[in-house]
Amino acid sequence: MSKIRIADRIQEILYELEVKSVMWTDFYTLHPHKMMSEVRTVMQKNRNTCVPIVLDKKLIGTLTVDKYIKWLKSHEKDMPVTRCMDVDQITLHPQEPVISALRKMSDSKSIRVAVVEPDTHEIVGIICRCNLFEDVLSKINVIYKDEEVRHYRASHIFEDVLADSVNITLKFHVADTPMEFGGEVASSLRTALQNLGLNGDMIRRAGIAAYEAEMNLLAYAGGGDFRIEVNPEHLQIVITDTGPGIPDIEQAMEPGYSTAPDWVRELGFGAGMGLNNINECSDKFEITSEMGQGTKLDIIIDLEKP
């Protein structure tokens, strides 16, 4: 995996990882009726610098070690913990991305934060900043290793699968949607080829050719079908439609020749460059068409040997 891909994946993981997957669910709480004189044992025993005050599973405040020391210094008589607790502390919810938790904790300079269900306000966990990094890194490590294994398996499929010949076939249907929203198949194809670990330049060429072809299907043929075959030698994209057909293929291949109506041009296409672009991206390109029957494009991009 390239360094950029690694950085992208770690960033994605930080966004995907939810607070609930790294929070502590085994934590100590104090009942509001507890007295300040009882706090020391709890803090010492559990090495807690911040203890949630909880009534009927609901968070009503937190008592920090700072507030406890302040109370000790004041030499005031014993009192319930509710008199010294903070009530405006930040909280996190379990489905929140870890990256958002990190930002909130950094902005509020909080070290320990309670995780609370947004609907019921029940406390379900605790996040501690010092352990959060460790937990996140360990999760990233696990996810990243899985990702690497998955990526390795996909990109080495031709070496790992022992057979006389290995062909991967992908099929996509281009539905008759407005051209304005087209390009979904080309986008999915790019992702699939990336996951197969193909060379970056090949993916770019395949994506451009597929995108131009997809837009042509939507502009002229009411949709069509893609069949992609990947084998150790090349990538073949066959696109078929049952549209009106092309009357003069030679003319259609001339750069700048176009029969596109204005609405196609308004979308940024129809300048007579599409078939040429496909040709430029291919190592081999064939086009056959029959009037009233449809058109077939056969694109071959040779796989570069590592």
Partner 1 sequence: MTIKRIISILDCKILNIDENDNISVDSVYATDLMSDVLANCKKGSLLLTILSNLQSVRAAEMTEVQVVCYVSGRQPKPEALAHGQKKKMTILTTDYSMYRACSLLHDAGLEE
Size of the site for partner 1 (CB under 8 A): 26
Question: Please, what is the minimum distance in Å from the beta carbon of residue 4 to partner 1?
Answer: 9
Among 32, 94, 183, 222, binds partner 1 (CB under 8 A): 183
Residues 6+ apart with CB under 8 A from 52: 27, 29, 30, 59, 61, 62, 114, 123, 126
Which range, of 3-11, 31-39, 59-67, 137-145, touches partner 1 by CB under 8 A? 3-11
CA 135 distance to own-chain centroid:
21
Q: Which of residues 184-213 bind partner 1 (CB under 8 A)?
A: 186-187, 190, 200, 204, 207-208, 211-212
State yes or no: residue 274 binds partner 1 (CB under 8 A): yes
Question: Nearest-CA neighbor of 123 among 131, 132, 134, 114?
Answer: 114
**Cβ 133 to partner 1, closest distance in Å?**
18
Q: Applying CB under 8 A, does 8 fall inside the site for partner 1? A: yes
From the CB of 235, what's the least distance to partner 1, in Å?
A: 15
Measured in whole angstroms, the distance separating CA 169 from the mean position of its chain's CA atoms is 25
CA atoms within 13 A on the CB side of 266: 5
| Cα–Cα distance, 117 to 258 (Å, whole number) | 59
Tokens of 241: 């439609």
Give the type of residue at 16.
Answer: E
Q: Which is nearer to partner 1, 36 or 281 (CB)?
A: 281
CB 213 to partner 1: min, Å: 11
Closest Cα to residue 258, out of 212, 222, 298, 292?
212
Q: Give the helix ranges, DSSP H, for 164-257.
A: 184-195, 200-216, 249-252
Q: Which residues inside 214-273 make contact with partner 1, applying CB under 8 A?
A: 215, 267-269, 271, 273
Strand partners, 55: 58
Q: Which stretch binds partner 1 (CB under 8 A): 67-75, 89-97, 120-128, 174-182?
A: 174-182
Interface contacts to partner 1, rule CB under 8 A = 7-8, 11, 180-183, 186-187, 190, 200, 204, 207-208, 211-212, 215, 267-269, 271, 273-274, 276-277, 280
